[in-house]
Structure 1
Amino acid sequence: MTAAMAERVQMSHDGPWELLLETWRGLDVPEGWHAEIDEDQINVVPPPHRHHNHITEGVQRALYGGLPQDLGIYQTLGVQIAALERLYIPDLVVLPRELTSSGTGDTNDPVDAAEALLVVEVTSKGNANIDRVRKLRAYAQALIPTYVLVDRFDPDGPACTVFTLPEGGVYTNTQRVPFGEAVHLPEPFDVKLDTSDFPA
């Protein structure tokens, strides 16, 4: 996720998920910005820093090395976890290409997070804990097989962590490497992600 939220649209705690989702659909955010739903509010987020973009492009380049033909990599696609009333726009999400070609009209409906095979979040200084805690839990509960967290602001030094094997609402396997080392991304990708040129 990019820099700290710029605006919050407060919704009532007991407001139905469909109302939040309908409000999200109707937002007219500036080009390059995006909106997410988290904890009963809509957060509008500004465009990412160039270092953030550099890292995202590097991860995407690595993924293409082992990407099956029927999967696509998307940068601005909303994924919803309806059971938790959350909707995020990961920095990258990998899912079957057929899901983005289906549907009718010019709709921006999010896809079900359970369809994703991998999500990537690159932290920003102002909201790194959202990626480290809230999104980690939400993606595990949605049973997304692989979550890649590229944390430029990790208190122990910039690092890349790959979370896999979600079970019982948590990821049961974790691989963490400091920037400068490579980490393995599991099947169906089976590629090494080299972090040596990731700017801290």
Structure 2
Amino acid sequence: MSSVMWPDHLLSLADWDALPEDNSRQYELAEGVLQVSPRPVHNHQWAISELLYQLRSQLPAELRVLPEFELVVFDNDPPTVRVPDLMVIPAVVGKTNPARVKGEAVLLAVEVISPGSRRIDRMTKLKEYAEAGIPDYWIVDLDAPVSITAFQLIDGDYELNAEVQDVLSVTTPAPLTVNVGDLVS
């Protein structure tokens, strides 16, 4: 059995970059603390893939949707780096081929709730993404009845824009319509 060396201090962005690559788990950094969770299972991955497909087919050319891309929520020490299931950014941001993006570059962050992430997605990330200035935040809940809750940033706080179980229609970050039922296989 191999021994994993876990950090014994709060991590900086340089420490985060120096971590060995490991795709067997999902990693995020919360105020310098390394958070490790299992990789998403089939239904979660299906929902991400289907939502990616639906968004990509509707977004204008100047916007891009990315799966599981690093988002620097706070870059001060200690930093916070999240990996939303999906995010929408301006295409011009992607032209620089960044390893990660800062919150001010993200127009929409999407989290699909996993076992063990409900409180983080609905409370912690809701506050963090609002503080980072991300204009839109969606939470996809795959528990029956499957739903999408869409929030819009108003005066520094997220306000409920829509909570649907059938079809989500929004105007930001672009006019989008999502068939919620297609997110489950």
Interval containing the TM-score (normalised by the shorter chain): 0.7 to 0.9
Report 1:1-200 matches (<5 A): 9=6, 12=9, 15=10, 19-31=11-23, 33-82=25-74, 85-102=79-96, 108=99, 110-153=100-143, 157-168=145-156, 170-178=157-165, 181-199=166-184
Q: Root-mean-square deviation (CA), in Å?
A: 2.6
Do the aligned residues in 2 keep the contact of 1:122 with 1:152 (CA within 8 Å)? Answer: yes
Distance 1:125 1:199 in 2: 16
62 and 8 in structure 1: CA distance in 2 versus 1, 3 angstrom threshold: farther
Give 5+ residue unaligned stretches, structure 1.
1-6
Instruction: Tell me the matched-pair count.
Output: 180
Distance 1:198 1:126 in 2: 20
Do the aligned residues in 1 keep the contact of 2:136 with 2:173 (CA within 8 Å)? Answer: no
Deviation at 1:122, TM superposition (A): 0.2
Q: Please give the secondary structure, in 1, of the residue aligned with 2:50.
A: helix
Do the aligned residues in 1 keep the contact of 2:60 with 2:174 (CA within 8 Å)? Answer: yes
Q: TM-score, normalised by structure 1?
A: 0.78
Give 5+ residue unaligned stretches, structure 2.
none
State the Cα deviation string for residues 9-61 of structure 1 (Å, max 9, x = none): 5564xx5xxx5211111112323543211143111333211100111112112
Q: TM-score, normalised by structure 2?
A: 0.84
Equivalent AA in structure 1 for residue 84 of structure 2: P
Q: Please give the secondary structure, in 1, of the residue aligned with 2:184.
A: coil
125 and 144 in structure 1: CA distance in 2 versus 1, 3 angstrom threshold: same
